[in-house]
């Protein structure tokens, strides 16, 4: 039986994969990634669409190659991410750097070398602009500029990148300074970029289209591409609603057309999602190691061999992920998408990891309180699978906390083959750079 209904991962596949590697492991479903990529590639637009993948969401080499082959450029958030994408075989001309770093010394030389070979640079601060100005002006390299619009939206406050609590991009109140400086140097901004946050209300994302076109008109006569960033909301849980990509595209198409009618400028639209492309492709497959309870006023706990060191989103953001319970013989015992046969009072359980940390739970609210969830009662040795872990899980979790190894990653190919795309880390690799007293 399929685990969630939109991909190929089934309880039998989990059993087969678990015969190849020890739990915990990540399993990604290529068919979901390909389907999501197609949806974004088909977004309605007025005068052309440039699609990027924010590799911070999941930077595994095979995932980068897959998404790039489907026609996406790569949005990198550090010089190291640029190098990582390049090592995965992605040409520099298909990578854009949007970073908080203002690289100096050897890093600066490397950045300039990459830019001269085609890397697109999205200037995110006045200092970054000053540092790159002479190099870009001498070679007449057009730049992109990330504008801080002063308004944002995110799944949680820490995922809002557009309000005044976050400092991404050059704030609108500093744009005059940036433009004055750029004009003195003879620099051109051909792309204007915003990214207002991750997983926020789609209506806010829509509003940002109008806001951004507004300041493109006011400040950026040379812009030919308007980058609306990433942040499309994905529904990881059955009661969540994902952004309607088609609807957002239609809205943008209309606004870009009206902009052209008024100003005679046919702007290309760019988007660069991370979450939307990969989040629901990923499953973290864990084994139930132990069961405990905390008395009549407490909870029933399932202790898994994977937790915050593989998926820290519940701990960081209070995010919810779906649970599936599968017996060790491969039978689906419960699915977040079909809980009717369970008793909503007596089948409440709390899923925790094995780290010595009370926040190591896969079910927390935004204040860090444990929230029990309805699910089948597995035996020790059965699997609990955490869904929706394709984005910001492997890439962002505090691996090696409590000295647990970085979990292996598998990819379920569209032909049904299960391919290892990251080997399990070894304990030797974990300590290799440490030196004795
Ligand atoms: C500049 C930029 N673009 C795109 C993204 C991708 O966001 P999401 O994964 O929510 O689509 C991010 C994420 O933080 C970002 O910082």
Secondary structure of 214-272 in HEC code, one letter for each residue: HHHHHHCCCCCEEECCCCCCCCCCCCCCCCCHHHHHHHHHHHHHHHHHHHCCCCEEEEC
Q: Are residues 114 and 243 in the same domain?
A: yes
Residues 299 and 255 in one domain: no
Ligand 1 centroid – CA 346 distance (Å): 40
**Spatial contact of 11 and 326, defined as CB atoms under 8 Å apart:** yes
Mutation probe of ligand 1 site: the residue of 40, 53, 54, 270 with most atoms within 8 A of C-beta: 54
Interacting residues of 231 by C-beta distance below 8 A, sequence separation 6+:
153, 154, 195, 196, 197, 198, 199, 200, 205, 273, 275
Pocket test of ligand 1: the residue of 40, 53, 56, 279 to mutate, having most ligand atoms within 8 Å of its CB, is 56
Do 206 and 220 belong together in one domain?
Answer: yes
Boundaries of domain holding 347: 283-431
317 and 229 fall within a common domain: no
Residues 274 and 313 in one domain: no
Residue 56 backbone zone (phi > 0: left; psi -120 to 50: alpha; other: beta): alpha
Cα–ligand 1 centroid distance for 272 (angstroms): 7
**9 occurs within a structural domain:** no
Give strand pairing partners of 335: 324, 338
Distance between CA atoms of residues 167 and 248, nearest Å: 26
Q: Are 190 and 224 within one domain?
A: yes
pLDDT for 7: 85
Same domain, yes or no, for 132 and 240? yes
For the CA of 276, the nearest atom of ligand 1: 11
Name the domain boundary from 278, 298, 325.
Answer: 278
Name residue 283's beta-bridge partners. Answer: 27, 387
CA 367 to ligand 1 center in whole angstroms: 24
Cβ atoms of 200 and 159 closer than 8 Å: yes
pLDDT value of position 194: 96
Give Rg (Cα) of the chain: 23
Pocket of ligand 1 (CB under 6 A): 54, 56-57, 75, 98, 161, 195, 198-199, 229-232, 272-276, 391
Evaluate whether residue 96 is within a structural domain.
yes
Q: Look at residue 199 and tell me if it is in a domain.
A: yes
> By three-state DSSP, how is residue 2 classified?
strand
Residues 287, 224: one domain? no
Same domain, 250 and 294: no
Question: In angstroms, rounded to a whole number, what is the distance separating the alpha carbons of residues 342 and 335?
Answer: 10
Residue 327 lies in a domain: yes
Distance separating alpha carbons of residues 151 and 194, to the nearest angstrom: 10
Q: Where a domain ends, among 257, 278, 299?
A: 278
What distance in Å separates the CA atoms of residue 9 and residue 197, rounded to the nearest whole number?
30
Query: Contact, 142 vs 118, CB < 8 A?
Result: no
Q: How far is the centre of ligand 1, averaged over its atoms, from the C-alpha of 436 (Å)? A: 40
25 within some domain: no
**Residue 36, H or E segment:** helix 30-41
299 and 171 housed in the same domain: no
Give the per-residue pLDDT at 436.
97
Write the residue with the smallest CA distance to atom 1 of ligand 1: 195
Q: Is residue 318 part of a domain?
A: yes
Distance, in Å, from the CA atom of 361 to the CA atom of 344, rounded to the nearest integer, reads 20
User: How far is the centre of ligand 1, averaged over its atoms, from the C-alpha of 43 (Å)?
Assistant: 18
Q: What is the CATH number of the domain that holds 38?
A: 3.20.20.10
Q: Has residue 8 been placed in a domain?
A: no
Q: Whose CA is nearest to atom 16 of ligand 1?
A: 195
Task: Report how far ligand 1's centroid is from the alpha carbon of 401 (Å).
Answer: 26
Pocket probe mutation, ligand 1, options 160, 227, 230, 245, max atoms within 8 Å of Cβ: 230
Same domain membership, residue 78 and residue 156: yes
Domain stops at, among 278, 306, 340 = 278
Residue ranges in the chain modelled with pLDDT below 50: none
Residues 357 and 260 occupy one common structural domain: no
CATH for 330: 2.40.37.10
Query: Does 17 reside within a domain?
Result: no
Tally of domains in the chain: 2
């Amino acid at each position: 039986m399929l685990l969630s209904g939109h991909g190929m991962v089934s309880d039998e596949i989990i059993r087969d994969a678990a015969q190849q590697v020890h739990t915990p492991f990540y399993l990604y479903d290529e068919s979901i990634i390909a389907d999501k990529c197609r949806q974004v590639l088909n977004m309605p637009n007025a005068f052309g669409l440039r699609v990027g993948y924010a590799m911070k969401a999941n930077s595994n080499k095979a995932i980068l190659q897959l998404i790039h082959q489907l026609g996406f450029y790569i949005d990198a958030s550090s010089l190291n991410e640029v190098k990582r994408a390049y090592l995965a075989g992605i040409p520099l001309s298909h990578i854009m750097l949007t970073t908080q770093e203002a690289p100096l010394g050897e890093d600066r030389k490397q950045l300039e070398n990459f830019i001269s070979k085609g890397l697109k640079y999205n200037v995110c601060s006045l200092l970054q602009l000053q540092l790159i100005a002479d190099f870009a002006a001498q070679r007449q390299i057009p730049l992109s500029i990330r504008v801080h619009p002063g308004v944002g939206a995110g799944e949680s406050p820490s995922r809002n990148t557009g309000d005044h609590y976050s400092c991404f991009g050059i704030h609108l109140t500093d744009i005059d300074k940036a433009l004055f400086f750029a004009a003195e140097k003879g620099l051109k901004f051909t792309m204007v970029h915003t990214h207002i946050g991750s997983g926020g209300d789609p209506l806010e994302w829509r509003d940002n289209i109008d806001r951004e076109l507004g300041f493109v008109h006011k400040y950026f006569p040379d812009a030919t591409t308007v980058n609306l960033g990433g942040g499309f909301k994905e529904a990881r849980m059955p009661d969540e609603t994902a952004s309607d990509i088609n609807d957002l595209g239609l809205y943008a198409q209309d606004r870009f057309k009206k902009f052209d009618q008024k100003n005679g400028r046919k702007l290309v639209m760019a988007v660069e999602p991370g979450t939307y492309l990969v989040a629901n492709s990923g499953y973290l497959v864990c084994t139930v190691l132990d069961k405990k309870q905390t008395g009549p006023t407490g909870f029933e706990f399932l202790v898994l061999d994977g937790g915050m060191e593989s998926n820290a989103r519940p701990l960081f953001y209070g995010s919810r992920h779906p649970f599936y319970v599968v017996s060790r013989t491969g039978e689906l015992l419960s699915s977040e998408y079909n809980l009717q046969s369970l008793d909503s009072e007596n089948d409440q359980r709390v899923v925790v990891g094995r780290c010595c940390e009370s926040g190591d739970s896969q079910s927390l609210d935004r204040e860090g309180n444990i929230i029990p969830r309805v699910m089948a009662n597995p035996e020790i040795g059965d699997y609990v699978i955490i869904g929706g872990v394709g984005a910001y899980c492997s890439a962002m979790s505090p691996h090696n906390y409590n000295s647990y190894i970085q979990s292996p990653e598998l990819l379920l190919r569209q032909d049904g083959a299960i391919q290892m795309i990251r080997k399990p880390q070894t304990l030797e690799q974990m300590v290799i750079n440490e030196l004795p007293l």
